[in-house]
């Protein structure tokens, strides 16, 4: 006789747990949308003989962000960005002059690459640890699609010590169409009110795909290879 009563109690307890879970999720928006700007420090890391890194560059990106609620404290973070990536490389280079003479030297190239990026990350957020402030961390993949590729070149000849420079060289055929990177970040979510938050975070994009293609002019058997990296400071508003 006691079994039906026990079963009713168990079923009632399960119903209360489900109601409690749905109630806690109902307090959160299923979808939040906003925009951001991101100043960044970027560089290219070469992965081929005699290629050298030429130093970092200051760049930026802007775009739209969205958080899709999976459950309390857990989100799928995505959006799209317009990224103005830049980096510098030094490498052996050969040029053919108008008279047919081949001149050897070093190319110092400043890359200016523009991407449409679509990040996809898993985001974890705390409760309010201090007044109106939540902390978050995220990890995922950032995929970029190349829409523009220009370079500023300085060629230094080792044969005659001559220096030639050229700006805004179209290098679209020397860069890959897609890049990918591991995205890791953290930051704070300052709650202004129930519908608006100010988001400040720091992301690191660890590239794992080559953004260059083609052969080196001095070493025809050598493929051009370099991987992009950058730190970005995200400042945004999300609704």
Higher-scoring residue by pLDDT: 47, 145: 145
pLDDT in tens, 108-163: 999 999 999 999 999 999 998 888 999 999 999 999 999 999 999 999 988 777 78
User: Which of 34-43, 63-72, 151-160, 201-210 has the least mean pLDDT?
Assistant: 151-160
* Total domains present in the chain: 1
Q: Which of 25-34, 101-110, 209-218 has the lowest mean pLDDT?
A: 25-34
pLDDT at 21 over 70: no
Alpha carbons within 13 A on the beta-carbon side of 25: 14
Q: Among 119, 114, 155, which Cα is nearest to 138's? A: 119
pTM listed for this prediction: 0.85
- What lies within 8 Å, CB to CB, of 17 at 6+ separation is none
Share the mean pLDDT of the chain: 89
Q: Which of 152, 143, 154, 150 is nearest to 172 (CA)?
A: 150
Q: Which residue has the higher pLDDT, 7 or 66?
A: 66
Residue 16 lies in a domain: no
Q: How confident is the model at residue 225 (pLDDT cuts 50, 70, 90)?
A: very high
Q: Is residue 147 part of a domain?
A: yes
> Is 24 part of a structural domain of the chain?
no
Q: What are residue 124's phi and psi, to 5 degrees?
A: -120, 130
pLDDT at position 29, please? 79
**The pLDDT of residue 130:** 85
Task: Classify residue 23: in a domain, yes or no.
Answer: no
In a domain, 207, yes or no: yes
Residue keyed to tokens 């309010």: 128
> Looking at residue 195, what is its pLDDT?
85
Specify if 3 maps to a domain. no
Q: What is the pLDDT of residues 73-92, one digit of tens each?
A: 999 999 999 999 999 999 99
From the list 88, 115, 109, the residue with the least C-alpha distance to 169 is 109
- The CATH number for 122's domain is 2.40.160.20
Residue 10 lies in a domain: no
- Asked whether residue 12 is assigned to any structural domain, the reply reads no
Q: Is 168 left (phi over 0), alpha (psi -120 to 50) or beta?
A: left
Report the alpha-carbon distance of residue 210 to residue 225 in Å, rounded: 6
Per the structure, the complete domain to which residue 212 belongs is given by 29-238
């Amino acid at each position: 006789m006691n079994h039906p009563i026990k079963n009713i109690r168990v079923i009632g307890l399960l119903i209360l747990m489900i109601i409690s879970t749905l109630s806690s999720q109902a307090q959160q928006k299923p979808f939040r949308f906003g925009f951001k700007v991101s100043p960044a420090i970027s560089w290219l890391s070469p992965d081929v003989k005699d290629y050298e890194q030429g130093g970092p560059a200051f760049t930026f990106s802007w775009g739209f962000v969205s958080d899709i609620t999976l459950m309390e404290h857990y989100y799928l973070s995505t959006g799209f960005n317009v990224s103005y990536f830049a980096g510098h490389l030094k490498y052996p280079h050969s040029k053919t002059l108008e008279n047919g003479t081949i001149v050897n030297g070093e190319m110092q190239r400043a890359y200016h690459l523009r991407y449409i990026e679509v990040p996809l990350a898993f985001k974890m957020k705390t409760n309010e640890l201090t007044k109106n402030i939540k902390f978050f961390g995220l990890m995922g993949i950032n995929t970029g699609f190349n829409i523009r590729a220009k370079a500023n070149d300085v060629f230094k000849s080792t044969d005659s010590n001559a220096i030639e420079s050229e700006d805004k060289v179209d290098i679209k055929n020397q860069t890959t169409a897609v890049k990918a990177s591991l995205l890791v970040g953290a930051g704070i979510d300052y709650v202004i009110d129930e519908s608006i938050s100010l988001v400040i975070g720091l992301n690191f994009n660890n590239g794992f795909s080559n953004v260059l293609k083609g052969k080196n002019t001095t070493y025809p058997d050598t493929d051009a290879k370099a991987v992009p990296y950058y730190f970005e400071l995200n400042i945004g508003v999300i609704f």
